[in-house]
Amino acid sequence: MLLPSPRGTLGAALVSALRGDGPVPATGAHDDEDDLQLSLWVLYELHYRGFDDVPGTWEWDPELLRLRAALEAGFEAAIRERCAGLVTEAEEQAGEQDDVVTALRLIAEADVPALSSYLHRTATAEQYREFLMARSVYHLKESDPHSWAVPRLTGAPKAALAELQYDELGGGRPDRVHQQLFADALTEAGLDPAYGSYVDLTPAPVLAVNNAMSLFGLHRRLVGACVGHLAAFEMTSSLPCRRYAQGAERLELGPAVVRYFDEHVEADAVHEHLAARDICARLVDQQPALRADVLLGAAACVLLEADAARATLDAWEQGLSALRAPEQERVA
Ligand SMILES: [Fe+2]
Ligand SMILES: [Fe+2]
């Protein structure tokens, strides 16, 4: 993957710096949410597979880390503010005596825009492809952000996370790695399965969903949020995946698309229990102080996904594309 196109003054300066054409921006000052989320996404990607046009040594450059920290401070504060209400509500309903699984379930059951119902019954094939393109930013690195938690856990939650990730990463079979199943689905839907190929088209709310996972994964102090996010992700996956599969069948997008989502109907019903009971609840048993962060991560999963879904549905209901226009079209 090559560096994506910047979306504002911060991104432009960052991309120039990574190409060796200028200094690293000294502050996190940015134009708008697009500029912020894309810049943060670029900085995080240096810790995953990186960019073909950026030397690997940039990963631990202190000035880049300083810039990232500046952006993360604002992003984390925004996430905490966005999530406070849902977390409090779940805690109140669950009651203080209750275990964390009940609170997680209440968060996972929050009322969110029904993107899956729309894709099931209403979406056109073109809209479904837009959904796959936007989702590819995550699913081509599916599970990777939560893998950062492995060395930060010990005992029961570590063993359970390893069990869950073993499944996500193919159980020893490269063709069964969920990232690969998604790449196969893209190919069959007539799309580009290359890692990162649709980042430029991906709107800010979807990048924010991805950036939250990296924020939680890359900071040891946020390990509770990382596994809480995972739990909510798995707890809100099974039923929507059934609808996505049925939508793909209705639109005849091909067996690989159906198979990807079908695979997640049953797998995530199992993962849900592993993540909530065996990872999150056991971690909170070990470290009760992490309970609030576990719920924060869960709420972030649900609410950032809901924001992205609402933006997508709004665009579609107005007859517009939910994706960003490619650079040349926006300039024209
Ligand atoms: Fe998966
Ligand atoms: Fe899963």
Q: CA-CA distance, 313 to 33, in Å (whole number)?
A: 19
Are 4 and 42 in contact by the 8 Å Cβ rule? The answer is: yes
State the maximum Cα–Cα separation within the chain, in Å, rounded to a whole number.
60
pLDDT, tens digit (0-9, with 9 covering 90-100), for 1-54:
999 999 999 999 999 999 999 999 999 999 999 999 999 999 999 999 999 999
Cα 57 to averaged position of ligand 1 atoms, centre (Å): 31
**Across the chain, what does the average pLDDT equal?**
96
Match 């880049």 to its residue by tokens: 64
Cα 142 to averaged position of ligand 1 atoms, centre (Å): 6
- 328 SS3 class: helix
Cα 112 to averaged position of ligand 1 atoms, centre (Å): 21
pLDDT, tens digit (0-9, with 9 covering 90-100), for 180-239:
999 999 999 999 999 999 999 999 999 999 999 999 999 999 999 999 999 999 999 999
Return the CATH superfamily for domain 95-331: Heme oxygenase-like (1.20.910.10)
The full DSSP string for 169-238 is TTTT-GGG-HHHHHHHHHHHTT---STTTTGGG--HHHHHHHHHHHHHHH-GGGHHHHHHHHHHHHHTTH
> Quick one: pLDDT at residue 126?
97
Cα 211 to averaged position of ligand 1 atoms, centre (Å): 18
> Quick one: pLDDT at residue 43?
98
Q: Record the pTM.
A: 0.96
Q: What residue segments make up the domains of the chain, in order of their start?
A: 95-331
User: Would the pLDDT of 259 be above 50?
Assistant: yes
> Quick one: pLDDT at residue 99?
87
User: Would the pLDDT of 96 be above 80?
Assistant: no
Cα dihedral sign for 271, 137, 309, 185?
negative
